Structure 1
Amino acid sequence: MGLTMLGNGLDFVINSIIHLKEAEQESCKSKEKEIKYSLLHLSSGIELILKSRLYREHWTYIFSDMNKANKENLKNGSFKSVESAILIDRLKILCGIDIDNDSKNAFENLRKLRNQMEHFTINDNFPAVEACINKALVEVSKFITNNYNDFTSPLTMSFKDDDDEFGLTQEEEKLIEELIKYIAKLKEHYDDAIKIATVKAQDEAVLHELLKCPSCKEKLLKCNYDDNMCHCFFCTYEEKGETVAEEYLNEIQGLSQYEIVKDGGKYPLYKCPDCDRNSMVNVGGKYVCFSCGMYYRENEVAFCDKCSVLYIKEDDNSELCHSCAKYKVVENK
């Protein structure tokens, strides 16, 4: 499949959530089986995510015996990796990551249940197993959130010996988006999904630039994420700026173009003075363009007395836009 260690870990966690979500359905006829696979996949996923953070520090750290670390064995996967108990110690000693007791206990309890399920059977009732899974999901979400910047930073000590290797691959980025989407479907973990999405947004944007998304209503929408495209870091909603501007007016500000025009009013969607697209909206005292991302405070723009277009004010205190002012000069000659 070509997935990385982190990619495999995220993929396992996503599959764990899918099984857990299925087990939560009242119509589920194989609840025990779904819970079993949720537990097994989550345990594997957490271990790989923790190991991948070690790997980002240095490839030798994921070997059980670092003195026997060998690049060839790493490439073909024929090596014994660090055990779970030592893994957390190495994260603290070698990476400066101090995993708190809540996380340690959650991961250890999950590991114990996994061993019981793999080799024997589980005597605990399934609500208790579900609770263990949910607690571990909270803690691995916290680990991803707290260490997100380390995952996205360039690799400088890769076993490939390439300086400034990119942090996250496109596949890893896609899997993190999927993780946010799936974990948000679990009632107990909506806030965990928001936290991961927020730290992801913070890595790629300035938080005060983010707006409420017309689709999910969370304040995680970035204008001009790509050329004339808006993107939500939470629900992955993505549309052209002109479309999002209209949907923002409808869904967030609760305005209907039909009702406003019918009553003789003017629909508050304006042409941007920078990119000329009809995608500028007044958002909390600022005129924001959903296409190019430019914004102006209310005192920095005005409406032309002649043509009503929105324009950027200059020092001449003119009440006309640049086109109308230019036309007036020509007309007066």
Structure 2
Amino acid sequence: MEHLNADTGPRELKYAVLHLQAAAEVLLKSRLLREHWSLVFSDPARATSEKFSASDFNSCGTDAAVERLKNICGLDFSKKDVAALKDLGKDRNALQHYGLTHSAEAVESRAGAVLDFLLRFLDAELLPLLDAQERDSIKEDMSRVRSGLNTIEAFVVERMNRLRGNELKGTTDSLLPCSVCGQWALAVIQNGAHCHFCGVTESAEALALVFQEFEPGHPANECPRCCNPTLACFAFMDGAGEELYYCFTCQARYKLEELANCGGCGCLWPYEGADDGTAQMLCGDCRRRIEDEELASRW
């Protein structure tokens, strides 16, 4: 917290992230210890009390700790919190080996998300298990951390409010949550999008894969207008929450009912509707192919 609330240069950010990642791992494993000491071993099947007492073992990492807390201890973690922890691990590795690979604003925002999670985790899972003397001994430290988190949150709120009154004014119908900093400041542009909070610019291809929510991991759809595989389905931050198809290359927008699968190749194509409701819809390529085949058969 001291590093984050100092003049946040590359060095301060680096050590803030390193300490925060270590803190997250220790606190998660502290809760595992409350369940059983063997759960902190990288391989619980090889756990022995002698090795545990001597601290002579390899412990599990953050990802494994989260999975064990979910599957064995029955704890509930939101997708947002799990993603924040994973992002912190990536930031830690990048800062350790390559230096600052994202903007200071992005790293501070992501660190603030993990701090928020850890405070909630402490309040729900660890602090209630302490006795009165233990709670009194950490009261001052906890107060400093909570006030520090408020400072980070105030920074994020202040920056977002400034952006809404300037760069983001009138753009709520084309804003998405940034995959780097997590803020709703990713404004779509032709061939991609730019985040006004952290400064990252993403390509159309990368964005289509990130926002392919209906079928995660599935290749993005081909756009009927520009024929690029950058058509994804999601909802913009426009207040209505209506999901639509959007092409990150040419910025074409389609309502869900306006596109249907081609009966020939399966691609999405504007739905024109059949007079009697029985005709099979075909995309332009399939129509031309069938027409060419019929013409060739006449000859």
**Scaled by the length of structure 1, what TM-score is found?**
0.43
